[in-house]
Amino acid sequence: MVKDRHYYDLLGVSPEGSASDIRKAYYLKAMKYHPDKNKDDPTAESRFKEISEAYQVLSDATLRARYDQLGPASACPEAGFISPEQIFKMLFGGDRFHTLIGDISLGRLLSEMATSDDQNSNTEEIREKIISEKSQKIQEERIEMLLSALISKTSLLIDGVYTEQAFTELLKEEAKDLSKESYGVSLLRSIGYVYSTRARLYLGKSSWFGLPGLFISIKEKGHIIGSLVETIGAVREVSKEPIKDSPDSEEKIKRAMWKATSFEIQATLREVCDRFLHPQSEMPRRAAAEFSTRRAQVLKLIGDTFRMVHE
């Protein structure tokens, strides 16, 4: 008999539920009750915060035991509760990936995908809606931060601080270190894909009458649309299913969360890369083109290195 059932009721699980049940319930509740999906409900933000607090307590074995025996007042995390956004960050890479992907805007993305009922909607229109409806100020700050970090990283090679061999070794060590984080390998491969593709697209436009760039552009558009269709399908599937105590059920939820995360990250990084490769410059046209070409070469090197990371 537990002293208080409130947190269990918030997540819709029984006090006998497993750690897996609690995790699955939180993922589903987070998608269903995100404030962006319930804009007309003045209690949505506080409810979403409470759901996140319930998860933080019940997902920690020690805090859960204290909660069961003594109630919520005795089960607060020592460092205090963290924000729902921070929970998403911890699930996918944590702070170690901050200068590579920034703060993930996953909540709104999940809400848009889960509630989009028009199966015949044009995927490009859905994609534009998702991207445009984000908080423009926050997203702009994120893009500028990531752009600044990318410029700093690439300048190590462009400015001659490192030789190409030394820079490549530095990247390999970074990738090896980051691969140990939650979803580290998958994140590195997603980042690497965007870096490599945008760099090859830029380099391809300046060779063979731009034909290589055209082929890469067509292929990437297919990748974007395909990823969006898969992500929407995965999110809708878990949004409509009841919580089941099975490995398959949890895998479906994780798959939906990851696909949404990867889609959001890649959409943001495409904008970062485009600004990186087309900087506002007062240099003569030829010098500016040579500078951007060098940036593209280094960007491709980083992307290719990240994509080769192993489990």
Nearest by Cα to 20 from 245, 183, 238: 245
pLDDT recorded at residue 215: 55
Mean pLDDT across the stretch 256-266?
82
| Residue-level pLDDT at 118 | 47
Q: What is the pLDDT of residues 64-92, one digit of tens each?
A: 999 999 988 888 887 778 776 677 666 77
Nearest CA to 293 among 193, 214, 283?
283
- What percent of the chain clears pLDDT 70, i.e. is strictly above it? 71
Q: Which one is predicted more confidently, 225 or 294?
A: 294
Decide if 148 contacts 275 (C-beta within 8 A). no
Q: Please, what are the domains in the chain?
A: 1-82 (1.10.287.110), 91-307 (no CATH)
Q: Which of 170, 182, 194, 165 is nearest to 304 (CA)?
A: 194
What phi and psi values does residue 74 have, to the nearest 5 degrees? -100, 10
Q: Which of 99-103, 140-144, 147-151 is the most confident on average?
A: 147-151
Average pLDDT score over residue span 6-31: 86
pLDDT tens readout for residues 33-42: 777 666 678 8
**How many CB atoms sit inside 10 A of residue 46's CB?**
11
Average pLDDT, the chain: 79
Q: Residue 246: its pLDDT value, please?
A: 52
Of residues 248 and 183, the one with the higher pLDDT is 183
Q: Are the C-beta atoms of 150 and 195 separated by less than 8 Å?
A: no
pLDDT of residue 120: 46
Answer left, alpha or beta for residue 208, where phi above 0 means left and psi between -120 and 50 means alpha.
left
- Spatial separation of the C-alpha atoms in residues 226 and 13, rounded to whole Å: 35
Q: What is the mean pLDDT of residues 88-107?
A: 77
